[in-house]
Amino acid sequence: MQVIVAFILGVFYGVALDRTGSLLAPVVAHNYANVVMYAGALATVGLFGNGGH
């Protein structure tokens, strides 16, 4: 699953770079994706605990 998500995001970042001509767009999009994934991980740990430790 991680490879699929990475591929899709990579294509998205490439399209953003191509359309804007600026590296800023994919950098900002990558940072936004990191924040969303990190928040999802924190929410998952908050909902389901830390594996019983």
Per-residue tokens: 4: 């699929």
- pTM recorded for the entire structure: 0.75
Q: Is residue 53 part of a domain?
A: no
pLDDT tens digit string along 11-45?
Answer: 999 999 999 999 999 999 999 999 999 999 998 88
Q: Is residue 10 part of a domain?
A: yes
Per-residue tokens: 35: 């924040």
**What whole-number distance in Å separates Cα of residue 14 and Cα of residue 25?**
10
Please report the pLDDT score of residue 52 as a whole number. 55
- Domain residues for 7? 2-48
Amino acid at 29: A
Q: Is residue 39 part of a domain?
A: yes
**What whole-number distance in Å separates Cα of residue 2 and Cα of residue 5?**
5
40 Ramachandran zone, left/alpha/beta (phi>0; psi -120 to 50): alpha
DSSP state of 27: H
Q: Provide the domain count of the chain.
A: 1
